[in-house]
Amino acid sequence: MTDRGREVVFAQAIRTALREEMQRDESVILWGQDIGVYGGVYGATTGLQREFGEDRVRDAPISEMAIAGVAVGAALLGMRPVVEIMYADFLMHAADAIANQAAKWRFMSGGQFKVPAVFRSPAGGGSGYAAQHSQNIESWFCHIPGLKVVCPCMPRDARGLLKSAIRDDNPVVFLEHKSHYTYRGPMPKEEELLPLGKADVKREGTDVTLVSWSRNLLWALEAADKLREEGVSIEVIDPMTLFPLDLDTILESLAKTGRLVVSHEAHAFCGVGAEIIAQVVEGHMDLLKAAPKRVSAVACPLPYSEPLEKAALPDADDIAAAVRQVVR
């Protein structure tokens, strides 16, 4: 126990959010591969079919396009489906339903229809699942107007953001790091909703603004610890929601620090880090004392080999090296 609540693993935080929202609202339904009897490939839906029945927690066939398409239809008819796509890589199979249907119905109908669907999916590397099961494709969905994109790291954030995503009348792509389901952290006993589109300052500092999200945030915090011993004070910001992005919180930090490093697990080209830096440089160049830096993965399909995968992904040492460059 901590003063912030009990300690839970990330998967339990997701499961708690789902249970609470299903208890609160009968229109919330779950739909995906192996989420019922099996409880989800990472255990995030364990016990929910037994508690709420097969009508509300349904196992789906092996067709991501069908899963997403049914969810869009159910949402248009007044349900609040929460879909689990087994790996974020497989969201590509569901892209038409998510990007061309879910994202556009509310706009095309002038607000007469809404699609309150959540598309949950495990993303990221570090587990040895190789090139087709380890990708970070958050920037793909950030590029689609009409979608919201959430990438939580801490269990407390996962629960509060998922609850808000389920209650949102817009479609939300909710990406959970697959190597992170057993990560343990505090979660309040009482119900807590965290707003979509609002960043969180995980650590205050005065010398450098360090922006990171999902599991990579842990490496950012580790780098901040290392550099504190070197006399460098780092403010660590977790956007939590990548679209819409809370740029104001980042700018408030830059007004103090004047230096920016963005770190994410996806590779750099056309990544969210590039967008954050572009928005800062285009409109707020006067805040910067040094050129911003990005820390990201190598631009290659992730290898199966453990040492090669480790070499391809950014870590705390990479982030610390980038920070040292901007404070020179």
pLDDT digits (tens, 9 = 90+) for 33-70: 999 999 999 999 999 999 999 999 999 999 999 999 99
pLDDT tens-digit map of 80-99: 999 999 999 999 999 999 99
Q: What is the pLDDT of residue 97?
A: 97
Measured CA to CA, the distance from residue 220 to residue 225 in angstroms comes to 9
- Percent of the chain whose predicted confidence (pLDDT) is above 70: 99
Residue 190 tokens read as 């009482």
Annotated active-site residue in 21, 84, 133, 275: 133
**pLDDT, average across residues 289-293:** 97
Q: Please report which confidence band the pLDDT of residue 3 belongs to, taking 50, 70 and 90 as the band edges.
A: very low
Q: What is the pLDDT of residue 43?
A: 94
pLDDT tens-digit map of 268-290: 999 999 999 999 999 999 999 99
pLDDT tens-digit map of 189-199: 999 999 999 99
**pLDDT, average across residues 106-127:** 95
pLDDT tens-digit map of 209-255: 999 999 999 999 999 999 999 999 999 999 999 999 999 999 999 99
Q: What is the pLDDT of residue 1?
A: 37
Q: What is the pLDDT of residue 2?
A: 41
Domains detected in the chain: 6-187 (3.40.50.970), 200-326 (3.40.50.920)
Task: Write the CB contacts of 152 (distance below 8 Å, at least 6 apart in sequence).
Answer: 158, 161, 162, 174, 176, 213, 214, 240
Measured CA to CA, the distance from residue 277 to residue 254 in angstroms comes to 12
Neighbour-count burial of 23, counting CB atoms closer than 10 A to its CB (0-12 exposed, 13-18 middle, 19+ buried): exposed
Q: What is the pLDDT of residue 4?
A: 60
Clarify whether 64 is annotated catalytic. yes
Q: Are 143 and 96 in contact (CB under 8 A)?
A: no
Q: What is the pLDDT of residue 56?
A: 98
Annotated active-site residue in 21, 64, 235, 265: 64
More confident residue, 288 or 128: 288
Handedness of CA 120, 126, 127, 129 (dihedral sign): positive
For the ranges 55-69, 123-137, 165-179, 242-256, the lowest mean pLDDT is seen at 123-137
Clarify whether 133 is annotated catalytic. yes
Q: What is the pLDDT of residue 328?
A: 86
Strand order in the sheet with 172-177: 57-59, 28-32, 80-84, 118-123, 172-177, 148-150, 241-243
Task: Write the CB contacts of 148 (distance below 8 Å, at least 6 apart in sequence).
Answer: 165, 168, 170, 171, 172, 173, 196, 197, 241, 243, 244
